[in-house]
Amino acid sequence: MSHGRDIIAQAVAEAASRYGFRGVRATNFYREWPETICLVNIQRSAWGPQFYLNAAVWFRRFGPERRPKEYKCQIRWRIGSPMEGDQSKAFTQALDLEHPLAADSRHSLIEAGADGYGFALLSRCETEQEALRVADEAGPLVAVALKARMQEKVN
C-alpha cells in the first residue's frame, strides 16, 4: 500500500473505531445490528490516484449477507456528497493523492469527513426505519433502493 493510501486507511480506521466499526482488509469497515449492516468502503478511482469514501446500509431482510458489497446495499452515499463549499473541496483534495497536502492535514481532513458524514450518520442506522430517516434528512444525495421503501409503505 502506498504511503498516501496508508494515511487514508488509518484516518478512516480511527474514525471507525470510535463508532464500533471493524475493518476488513483495510478498505471496508462494518458494523452489524439485528436489522441492518452498515459499512464504509474506501474506493480507488480507476482514472488516477484519487480515492472516494462510500457509506452504505444493507437491510438484513433482503438476504443473509455478512459482508455486503457497498454497491449492492439498499442505501448508499459518497461521504463527501453532503458536504458544502470549502469543506467539500478540502475533503476531495485530501482524497486526491496528486494534490500537495501535508500528511497530518490530509489525515485530519479525511478523519473528520469520515466521522461526521459517514460513521456518525451510520451509527444512527440500527433499524431500517432509522436508516430511511437518515437518508431522508440527507436528501437527494443519498441513493435509496425502491425495494427498501416498499416495505416502509406496508408498515
Nearest to 123 by CA among 52, 9, 54, 20: 20
Phi, psi of 6 (to 5 degrees): -60, -40
Residue 89 CA to residue 147 CA, distance in Å, equals 33
The model's pTM is 0.90
Could you report the per-residue pLDDT of 32-58, keeping only the tens digit for each?
999 999 999 999 999 989 999 999 999
The residue extents of the domains of the chain are 3-154
DSSP label of 84: -
- Dump pLDDT digits (tens) for 81-137: 888 889 999 999 999 999 999 999 999 999 999 999 999 999 999 999 999 999 999
